[in-house]
C-alpha cells in the first residue's frame, strides 16, 4: 500500500482542481452574507466535501493492489471443475476462457498470467502465450490408451509388434488387436491397475497399406473403443548368397535347399579336392569364385562360409571380405565347427565362453536342439540374436556389414523331424539379422506423432541427395529447412487436407513416397491428450505458481469504488439543501 494513491485520470487533475476551486469560490461568494453565523462554516465544509467527491468521481483515484486483473484462466479439454472452483474462490473476478485449438485467445489481451487447466494447449498454439507467465496445472483425467508404439513399416513376414499403455483399465475388458477387416489377431485381458502395458503382436498376411485396429471390448463382446493402427507392409527382396564349404555337410545341404527353394540366388562352392570345386548355381547365380576380391564379393548380400574355409582364407581374400563388409554391408555368416571355438583372438572376431550346455530349447511346442557347449562372451560390439529370449546366434558389426555365427548345430534335424516351420523361423531370424541391408537414398521420419486434418504435420527427411523436391498433390512443393548442425537432414511442414492415408513424394531421379496416416479428430484422443500434456509440461514446467518477477508486475491499479464519493456528495448536498429549511 506504500505505493500510494494514483489517479487514473491523472491528465484531468489540474482542470478538475481548478474547476472545483472555482465552484467553491462561487459558493463561498454566494454565501458570504452569512459569514457571521456558525452555519456558514458548516456549509463551507459540506460544499467542499461535495466538490471533492465530484472531483474524485471524475479523477478515479486508485491504489496498487495484488490484483486479479492480470490473471486469467484458460480452460482446455479435460480440466477439473473443482480446480477451477478453488481458483475462482481465491481470485474472485478472474477471467476465464475456454480454449479451442487454432483460435486466438481473446483474454490474452488483458492478462499476462495464465492458469492453464486441463490437458493444455496444442503445440502450434504456444506462440499465443509466448510472453505470458503460465502456470500449467494439468489434468489427471486421462483414461484410455496413452501410448501406442509399434513398428509402422515392416517387411512381409516380419511381425507387427504393438506395445501400448492403457491408463485406468477396467478389469474384465479386453484389448484386442484386429486386422484391417477386424478379424481378431491377438488379445490381452485388462486387470485392475492404474495403467497397464500390453504387448500385442501379429504377422500381417499381405503387403500393402492397412489400418489395423486396437479394440477395447467388454466381457460381453461390445466394442468400447476402436483405435486405428496404420501400418505399411512391404515386400522383401530375395538375397544374393554365396556359400563356401570345404566339404559337404548335411547342415549346409539343408540350408542351401531352404534358401534356394525360397527363391534366393545362391552360388554354392564345395571343395572337391585341392583346387577343384563343385559349383552350384541356383536361381540365376553365375560366375565362378575362387579367391575373394572386393570386386566379386560386392554384389553378394550374404556370405555363408564354414569354419574351415574361414580359417583357410588367404590374407588377400580375408581382407577383401572385410573390406566389402565395411563398405558395402556384406553379411558374413560363419558356420560354426569345433575349430571355431579354438581360434585365437587374431584369427576370429568371435569370443566364446565354455558353458558345457549342449542343448537348447526353442519354439512352441518346445523343441530341443543340440548346440556347441559354448556361449558368446559379451563384448562391446557383439549383438545377440534372440529367439524366444534365447541367444541362438550373435554378430559383430563391421561398419556397415556384419559377421555372425550360431552355436546351434545340426539344425537340419528339425527338417527330418518334420519341423520345417521352426527351421525356417530360426534361419530367417539369424540370416535377416546378418544379411546386407539394401541401402536407401532417403529416410523419412514423421515428427508429428498424431497427424490430424488441417493441423501441421512435421516431417524429417534425411538424404545425401542435393537436388530434390518434396511435393504434395503432384504440384505443391513443400519448402524444406536444413538442419544447422547435421547436414543432409531437412524438416518440413504440411497441412494434410484429408484424413486417412496421405502421401508426400520426393522428386529426384526416382520418386520415393512417404505415406502417413491422418487421424480423425475422435481417433486416438486419449493418446493425443497425453501427448499434449507431455508437451505442455515440457513447455511450462510442472510447478503451479507464477514466477516472482511476474507477480510483481501483476500488482495492478484498482480504482477506489466511486460509490463512496456518491454517498459523500449526497450527504453534503442534502445538508446544504436541508439547512435553510431548518432555520425557519
Partner 1 sequence: MGGRSIKQFQKRWQRSKYLEGLFYAIGFGGLVYLLTHNLVHGVIGFIVSAAIAVFVLRPWSISQENAVSYIDAHLPQAGFSSGLLLSPSNELSDLSKLQQYRVALQLQPVLSKLRPPHNLLKATLIMFAMILLGLAGRFVFSKVGNPLDGNKSTKEQITFSPKDNLSTSIKIPELTGTKITVRYPGYTGKSALDTSDPNIKAVQGSSIQWNLEFDGGVQGVQLDLMGELIDFAKIDESYRLTKNLEASGFYSFTFKDSEGNNYVSDLYSLEMVKDEPPMVQIEGLDSYSYFEFDDEKRLMLNTSISDDFGIADAYIIATVSKGSGESVKFREETIRFNKAVPKGNKRMDLQQPLDLDDLKMDPGDELYFYVEALDQKRPSPNVARSETYFAVIRDTVTDMFAVEGNLGVDLMPDYFRSQRQLIIDTEKLIADKPNISEKDFKFRSNELGFDQKQLRLKYGQFMGDETEMQAAAGAVSHNDGETEQSNEGGEEDLLDEYSHKHDSDNEHNLVEEHGDENEGQEAEDPLHDYLHNHSDPEESTLFEKSLKAKLRDALNIMWDAELHLRLYEPEKSLPFQYDALEIIQEIKNSARIYVHRIGFDPPPIKEENRLSGDVENITNYDKRQEFEYQKSFASTREAISRLESLIQGKKKFDAGDSALFVDAGNELAQRAVSEPLKYIKVLQGLRDLEKAANRSKENYSEVQKNLLSVLPQIEDIPMKKTKYYSEINSLYLKELGVYE
Q: How far is the CB of 372 from partner 1 (least distance, A)?
A: 22
| Binding-residue pattern over the window 474 to 493 for partner 1, x denoting contact by CB under 8 A | ------------xxxx----
Nearer to partner 1, 273 or 466 (CB): 273
**Max Cα distance, the chain (Å):** 149
151 binds partner 1 (CB under 8 A): no
Place of cell 483414461: 143
Asked if 384 contacts 397 with a C-beta cutoff of 8 angstroms, the reply is no
Nearer to partner 1, 203 or 521 (CB): 203
Q: For the segment 451-470, give every residue that binds partner 1 (CB under 8 A).
A: 462-464
Asked if 329 contacts 439 with a C-beta cutoff of 8 angstroms, the reply is yes
387 binds partner 1 (CB under 8 A): no
Nearer to partner 1, 338 or 437 (CB): 437
| Binding-residue pattern over the window 320 to 359 for partner 1, x denoting contact by CB under 8 A | ------x---------------------------------
523 binds partner 1 (CB under 8 A): no
Among 62, 128, 226, 283, contact with partner 1 (rule: CB under 8 A): 283
308 binds partner 1 (CB under 8 A): no
Q: How far is the CB of 126 from partner 1 (least distance, A)?
A: 29
Q: How far is the CB of 380 from partner 1 (least distance, A)?
A: 7
301 binds partner 1 (CB under 8 A): yes
Asked if 58 contacts 94 with a C-beta cutoff of 8 angstroms, the reply is no
| Binding-residue pattern over the window 236 to 265 for partner 1, x denoting contact by CB under 8 A | xxxx-------------------xxxxxx-
Angle at 174 between CA 168 and CA 176, to 5 degrees: 115
> Alpha-carbon distance 88 to 79, whole Å?
14
Q: How far is the CB of 189 from partner 1 (least distance, A)?
A: 22
Among 5, 206, 361, 416, contact with partner 1 (rule: CB under 8 A): 206
Asked if 174 contacts 131 with a C-beta cutoff of 8 angstroms, the reply is no
539 binds partner 1 (CB under 8 A): no
Q: How far is the CB of 504 from partner 1 (least distance, A)?
A: 16
Q: Within 13 Å of residue 255, how many CA atoms lie on the same side as its CB? A: 29
438 binds partner 1 (CB under 8 A): yes
Please state whether beta strands 401-406 and 331-335 pair in parallel, antiparallel, or not at all (unpaired).
Answer: parallel
Nearer to partner 1, 147 or 446 (CB): 446
213 binds partner 1 (CB under 8 A): no
Cβ-Cβ contacts under 8 Å for 203 (sequence gap 6 or more): 157, 158, 159, 160
- Please give the backbone phi and psi of residue 526, each rounded to the nearest 5 degrees, phi first: -65, -35
Asked if 227 contacts 214 with a C-beta cutoff of 8 angstroms, the reply is yes
> Alpha-carbon distance 298 to 301, whole Å?
8
**Exposure class string for 107-128: b at 16+ Cβ within 10 A, else e:** bbeebbbbbbbbbbbbbebeeb
Q: For the segment 97-116, give every residue that binds partner 1 (CB under 8 A).
A: none
Asked if 66 contacts 92 with a C-beta cutoff of 8 angstroms, the reply is no
| Binding-residue pattern over the window 397 to 416 for partner 1, x denoting contact by CB under 8 A | xxxx----------------
Among 35, 381, 534, 543, contact with partner 1 (rule: CB under 8 A): 381
Report the Cα 158 to chain-centroid distance in Å: 23
155 binds partner 1 (CB under 8 A): yes
Q: Select from 15-23, 80-88, 233-241, 576-584 the region that touches partner 1 (CB under 8 A).
A: 233-241
> Alpha-carbon distance 345 to 426, whole Å?
28
207 binds partner 1 (CB under 8 A): yes
Cell of 29: 461568494
Asked if 97 contacts 73 with a C-beta cutoff of 8 angstroms, the reply is yes
Among 88, 443, 538, 543, contact with partner 1 (rule: CB under 8 A): 443
Q: How far is the CB of 495 from partner 1 (least distance, A)?
A: 21
> Alpha-carbon distance 405 to 371, whole Å?
12
274 binds partner 1 (CB under 8 A): yes
287 binds partner 1 (CB under 8 A): no
Cβ-Cβ contacts under 8 Å for 439 (sequence gap 6 or more): 329, 400
Cβ-Cβ contacts under 8 Å for 454 (sequence gap 6 or more): 102, 495, 496, 497
Among 128, 425, 499, 551, contact with partner 1 (rule: CB under 8 A): 425
Nearer to partner 1, 167 or 285 (CB): 285
181 binds partner 1 (CB under 8 A): yes
Asked if 84 contacts 43 with a C-beta cutoff of 8 angstroms, the reply is no
59: which DSSP letter? H
Q: Select from 42-50, 100-108, 165-173, 234-242 the region that touches partner 1 (CB under 8 A).
A: 234-242
Q: How far is the CB of 488 from partner 1 (least distance, A)?
A: 6
82: part of which helix (H) or strand (E)? helix 81-90
Q: Select from 39-47, 277-285, 523-531, 560-568 the region that touches partner 1 (CB under 8 A).
A: 277-285
Please state whether beta strands 331-335 and 302-306 pair in parallel, antiparallel, or not at all (unpaired).
Answer: parallel
Residues binding partner 1: number (CB under 8 A): 72
Sheet holding 5-7, edge to edge: 5-7, 61-65, 556-559
Among 39, 165, 209, 318, contact with partner 1 (rule: CB under 8 A): 209
Amino acid at each position: 500500500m506504500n505505493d500510494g494513491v494514483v489517479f487514473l485520470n491523472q491528465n484531468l487533475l489540474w482542470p478538475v482542481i481548478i474547476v472545483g476551486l472555482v465552484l467553491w469560490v462561487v459558493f463561498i461568494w454566494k454565501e458570504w452574507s452569512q459569514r457571521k453565523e456558525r452555519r456558514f462554516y458548516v456549509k463551507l465544509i459540506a460544499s467542499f466535501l461535495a466538490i471533492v467527491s465530484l472531483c474524485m468521481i471524475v479523477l478515479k483515484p486508485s491504489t496498487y493492489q495484488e490484483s486479479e486483473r492480470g490473471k486469467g484462466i484458460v480452460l482446455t479439454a479435460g480440466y477439473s471443475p473443482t480446480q477451477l472452483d478453488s481458483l475462482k474462490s481465491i481470485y474472485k473476478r478472474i477471467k476465464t476462457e475456454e480454449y479451442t485449438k487454432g483460435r486466438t485467445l481473446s483474454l490474452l489481451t488483458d492478462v499476462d498470467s495464465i492458469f492453464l487447466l486441463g490437458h493444455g494447449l496444442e503445440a502450434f498454439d504456444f506462440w499465443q502465450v509466448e510472453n505470458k507467465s503460465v502456470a500449467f496445472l494439468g489434468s489427471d483425467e486421462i483414461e484410455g490408451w496413452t501410448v501406442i508404439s509399434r513398428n509402422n513399416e515392416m517387411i512381409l513376414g516380419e511381425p507387427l509388434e504393438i506395445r501400448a499403455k492403457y491408463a485406468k483399465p477396467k478389469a474384465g475388458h479386453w484389448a484386442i488387436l484386429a486386422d484391417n477387416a477386424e478379424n481378431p489377431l491377438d488379445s490381452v485381458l485388462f486387470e485392475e491397475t492404474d495403467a497397464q502395458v500390453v504387448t500385442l503382436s501379429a504377422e500381417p498376411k499381405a503387403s500393402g497399406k492397412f489400418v489395423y485396429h486396437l479394440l477395447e471390448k467388454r466381457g460381453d463382446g461390445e466394442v468400447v473403443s476402436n483405435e486405428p493402427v496404420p501400418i505399411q507392409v512391404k515386400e522383401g527382396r530375395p538375397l544374393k548368397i554365396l556359400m563356401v564349404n570345404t566339404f559337404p555337410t548335411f547342415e549346409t545341404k539343408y540350408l542351401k535347399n531352404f534358401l534356394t527353394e525360397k527363391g534366393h540366388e545362391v552360388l554354392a562352392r564345395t571343395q572337391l579336392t585341392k583346387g577343384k570345386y563343385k559349383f552350384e548355381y541356383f536361381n540365376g547365380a553365375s560366375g565362378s569364385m575362387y579367391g575373394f576380391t572386393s570386386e566379386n564379393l560386392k554384389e553378394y548380400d550374404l556370405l555363408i562360409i564354414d569354419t574351415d574355409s574361414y580359417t583357410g582364407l588367404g590374407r588377400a581374400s580375408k581382407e577383401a571380405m572385410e573390406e566389402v563388409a565395411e563398405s558395402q554391408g556384406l553379411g558374413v555368416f560363419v558356420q560354426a565347427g569345433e575349430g571355431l571355438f579354438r581360434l585365437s583372438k587374431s584369427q576370429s572376431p568371435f569370443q566364446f565362453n565354455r558353458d558345457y550346455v549342449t542343448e537348447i530349447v526353442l519354439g512352441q511346442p518346445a523343441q530341443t536342439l543340440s548346440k556347441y557347449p559354448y556361449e558368446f562372451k559379451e563384448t562391446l560390439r557383439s549383438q545377440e540374436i534372440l529367439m524366444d529370449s534365447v541367444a541362438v546366434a550373435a554378430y559383430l558389426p563391421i561398419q556397415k556389414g556384419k559377421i555372425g555365427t550360431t552355436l546351434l548345430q545340426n539344425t537340419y534335424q528339425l527338417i527330418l523331424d518334420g519341423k520345417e516351420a521352426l527351421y525356417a523361423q530360426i534361419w530367417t531370424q539369424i540370416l535377416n539379422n546378418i544379411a546386407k541391408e539394401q541401402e536407401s537414398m532417403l529416410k523419412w521420419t514423421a515428427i508429428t506423432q498424431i497427424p490430424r486434418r488441417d493441423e501441421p504435420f512435421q516431417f524429417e527427411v534425411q538424404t545425401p541427395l542435393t537436388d530434390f523436391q518434396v511435393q504434395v498433390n503432384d504440384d505443391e512443393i513443400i519448402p524444406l529447412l536444413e538442419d544447422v548442425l547435421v547436414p543432409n537432414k531437412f524438416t518440413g511442414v504440411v497441412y494434410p487436407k484429408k484424413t486417412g492415408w496421405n502421401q508426400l513424394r520426393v522428386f529426384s531421379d526416382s520418386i520415393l513416397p512417404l505415406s502417413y496416416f491422418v487421424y480423425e479428430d475422435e481417433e486416438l484422443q486419449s493418446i493425443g491428450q497425453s501427448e499434449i500434456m507431455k508437451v505442455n509440461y515440457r513447455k511450462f514446467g510442472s510447478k503451479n505458481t507464477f514466477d516472482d518477477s511476474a507477480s510483481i508486475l501483476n500488482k495492478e491499479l484498482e480504482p477506489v469504488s466511486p460509490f463512496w464519493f456518491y454517498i459523500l456528495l449526497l450527504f453534503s448536498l442534502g445538508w446544504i439543501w436541508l439547512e435553510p429549511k431548518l432555520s425557519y
